[in-house]
A and B are shown apart, each in its own frame.
Chain A
Amino acid sequence: MTLRVSGLSAMRSGRTILHPTSLTIEPRARIGLVGTSGSGKSTLGHALIDDLRAQGHSVAHVPQSPDEALDPLRSMAFHWREAEWALGLQPGSADQKTLFTALKIAGGDLRKRPWGWSRGMQQRFVIAMALIGSPDLIVLDEPTSALDPVVAAATMDLLDRHLEGRATAMMLITHDLGLAARRVSTLMVMQEGRIVEQAPTAEILERPKTRASKSLTAHRNWMALPC
């Protein structure tokens, strides 16, 4: 199902941090939302999730760090049950085994609290929760910034493989152009609360048009990054 939002905007302390923005996201789309820190990427991501949820779409969210997704006082099993419950599923109905195997966290003890797991495993658990019920869109907000490069690359590979053949669209929010270059087919470049450029990834990387995208692609060493 094609996802459409229009007129998304946000203000903070009387200042517009997201100017009216409209988006169309096709099923299976792989979109990268890039821009410098403070350009409004996460704000757009949050506004997009809230709007689509209000429309009745199933949208999953993976924040930057597992600390932003998991309650340290609650067990992993509780988080899983809660995520199922929030989606209106009966406890135990989500295909936990398949997801855990795909994301290589099948050995994790679900009775433990988040801090009983490694950070890499926690983040993959959060991604697994986001994939319960095959959402229409998964928004990954700097999903690998809390992970070391090797674990980050492996996690993204596992996610890519899991999403293959599914209708779920993916939006990857990042300031890391190296990560976006390898994972998405379309790039949206943000600057000062606006999407200033949108084009296929290869096109922006080869022929950036705006000052923001030129600035992002100026440093060519992103090709060497493992993600």
Chain B
Amino acid sequence: MIATLLSLLLRAVVVLAGTAVLTFALLWNAPGDPAQAIAMARFDALLTEDVIDQVREEVGLNANFWGAFVDWVGPLLVLDFGNSAVTGRPVWPDLWVSITYTFPLALAGLAIGLVISLPLAILATQHPGRLLDRFAVAIASLGTAIPAFWLGLLLILLFAVQLDWLPAMGARTPAHAILPALTLGLGVAASLTRIIRSGILEARGQQFLPALSRRGVSPKAIGRDHVAPHAAVPVVTVVGLELAFLLEGLVVVEVIFGRPGLGTFLTSAILDRDFPHVQAVVVLTALVFVSVNLIVDVIYRQIDPRIGERDA
């Protein structure tokens, strides 16, 4: 088990190192003059070449690629994301504020998705092919097809504009999080319902189940002890990925609902060419992806150790 964990950790480190190099290279080679964009963001006026050169020197854009990379990645190893190229303030405090808005919203979205999809999929699979099952599949397909930005606008129109039940924009009170969390959660519920449903149906088709019934094992025990673990393997994988992809969906949702968070942090950083901010978000997202994958790997190796055997 320890050897497996070490190998998974090593894999995670390789992925993170690759992400760091790629992110840095992409931004380094981005079209346009980043020094000019940063100077524009800082001074908000037409600028002279001298000022732009000064900014270039100050934020290290004069250095060669590897020199600049090492200057950036070295402090990163101790979670020092550097200073903003625009404001000059340390990145971490601002990033942390964004995280405190975004991560709870992502978790709330995932929780809503699970609360809807799990009972719906279990109910649907009671009688596969019947009305309820078809209804669940249709709703799930529809939910997957609706983009988050459109669903978000529909929810604002209904609950904020027409009914005036919930606030539409901002993040002042917990009520402000309901519509964004619903937007995310409904999307998650749609894709999870399909995965959980097919996971359960596939698990119910396992060839050893009839023998268990003939052995006298109760249907309840078969469902709990045999169908659920088999259905859990694909579900655990997808729940993990959903959590990671939620961060991506949040960019859109935060912009629609005018909420502070990683999404708005990232979009303004891109517009200002604030490299340290962009790099921090990308590294953080990669860290979340890799950590979630690591946890998923460990969990489904616990459920089905054959996965580990095959990898070995």
Contact = CB atoms under 8 A, between A and B. Distances in A.
Interface stretch (A3-11, A63-71, A212-220): A63-71
A49, A71, A74, A87: residue with the most chain B Cβ atoms closer than 10 Å: A71
B217 A69 contact: no
A59, A60, A82: residue with the most chain B Cβ atoms closer than 10 Å: A82
B214 A61 contact: yes
Contact of A67 (B207, B215, B218): B207
Interface in A41-78: 46, 49-50, 53, 59-61, 63, 67-74, 78
Contacts of B174: none
Contacts of A113: 305-306
B226 interface: yes
A68 B207 contact: yes
A86 B225 contact: no
A191 to B, nearest CB: 24
Closest 4 CB pairs of A and B: A86-B216, A61-B214, A69-B211, A86-B217
Given A69-B211, A85-B217, 18 more contacts: A46-B214, A49-B214, A50-B214, A53-B216, A59-B214, A61-B214, A67-B207, A67-B208, A68-B208, A68-B210, A70-B208, A71-B212, A71-B225, A73-B226, A82-B217, A86-B217, A113-B306, A129-B215
B215 A61 contact: yes
A61 B225 contact: no
Contacts, number: 55
A72 B211 contact: no
B215 A72 contact: no
A29 interface: no
A73 B217 contact: no
A110 interface: no
A100 interface: no
A115 interface: yes
Contact of A73 (B210, B221, B230): B230
Contacts of A53: 214, 216
Given A73-B304, A82-B225, A61 B211 contact: yes
Contacts of B206: 71
A205 interface: no
Contact of A82 (B221, B229, B230, B306): B221
B214 A73 contact: no
A176 to B, nearest CB: 21
Contacts of B303: 73
A73 B212 CA distance: 14
A56 B208 CA distance: 23
A91 to B, nearest CB: 14
A63 to B, nearest CB: 5
Contacts of A86: 215-218
A83 interface: yes
Contacts of B207: 67-68
Contacts of B230: 71, 73
B211 to A, nearest CB: 5
A39 B186 CA distance: 51
A71 B303 CA distance: 12
